[in-house]
Structure 1
Amino acid sequence: MKKHCLALDLKDDDALIAKYEEYHVNVWPEVLDSLANSGINHMEIYRVGNRLFMIIEVEDGFSFDRKAKLDAGNEKVQEWEVLMWNYQQALPFAKPGEKWLPMDKIFEFEADD
């Protein structure tokens, strides 16, 4: 099992942020199926202000490239992505076309038993 952390911004508008969160109360079943089929076993999204932070736990064979190819061929996932882009915006330092950006782990702590 491997963990990835990613970040993305929402448009800085309280009404849009509230609507985005509403959509995530009942994510479309086709989107949830695509997550599972791509090898994602667990996902959490956190928000502070308009910044989002996503943690995913994936199977050993997981690939972001493979997931992107699967998503590109899934009409409902593409519809979801277009809809979500109404609320999302790229991070200020993102390259054109980049959405969720992987974060680098810079610290880890584990207490002794």
Structure 2
Amino acid sequence: MKKFCLALDLIDDLELIAEYENYHQNIWPEVRQSILDSGIRNMEIYRVRNRLFMIVEADEKFSFEAKNEADKNNPKVQEWEELMWKFQQQLPNSKAGEKWQLMDKIFSL
């Protein structure tokens, strides 16, 4: 099992943050299936103020490249991602169009 941690900011607006969290209480079935089909076995998102932290646990077949390619060809995932841009803002130093940034592991006990 591989583990990845990613970060992203939300627009700092309490109403938008509440709406974003509501969407994530019941993600669309097609989005959920695309996550599972990619090899992701567990995904958790945590929030402090407007900063999000995602933990992804995936099997050995998972790759971000394959997931991104599959998502490009999935109209429902594209619709979801477009909708989420209403709430999300890029972290500093993000590439154009990049949402979640992969974090570097700096400590393990």
TM-score by length of 1: 0.95
Q: Provide the secondary structure at the position in 1 that maps to 2:71.
A: helix
4+ aligned runs moved over 2 Å, structure 1: none
| Identity percentage of aligned residues | 63
Unaligned runs of at least 5 residues, structure 2: none
Using the TM superposition, name which of 87-96 and 32-41 deviates more: 87-96
Q: Provide the secondary structure at the position in 1 that maps to 2:25.
A: coil
Output the CA distance in 2 between the equivalents of 1:19 and 1:97: 22
CA deviations over 1:5-56 (Å, ceiling 9, x no partner): 0000000101000000000010000000000001100000000010000000
What is the aligned partner in structure 2 of residue 7 from structure 1?
7
**Structure 1 residue 93, shift from structure 2 partner:** 1.9
What is the aligned partner in structure 2 of residue 68 from structure 1?
68
Unaligned runs of at least 5 residues, structure 1: none
What is the aligned partner in structure 2 of residue 83 from structure 1?
83
Q: Provide the secondary structure at the position in 2 that maps to 1:23.
A: helix
* RMSD across aligned positions (CA): 0.6
What letter corresponds to residue 39 of structure 1 in structure 2? G
Q: Does 1:50 align with 2:50?
A: yes
TM-score by length of 2: 0.98
**Structure 1 residue 97, shift from structure 2 partner:** 1.5
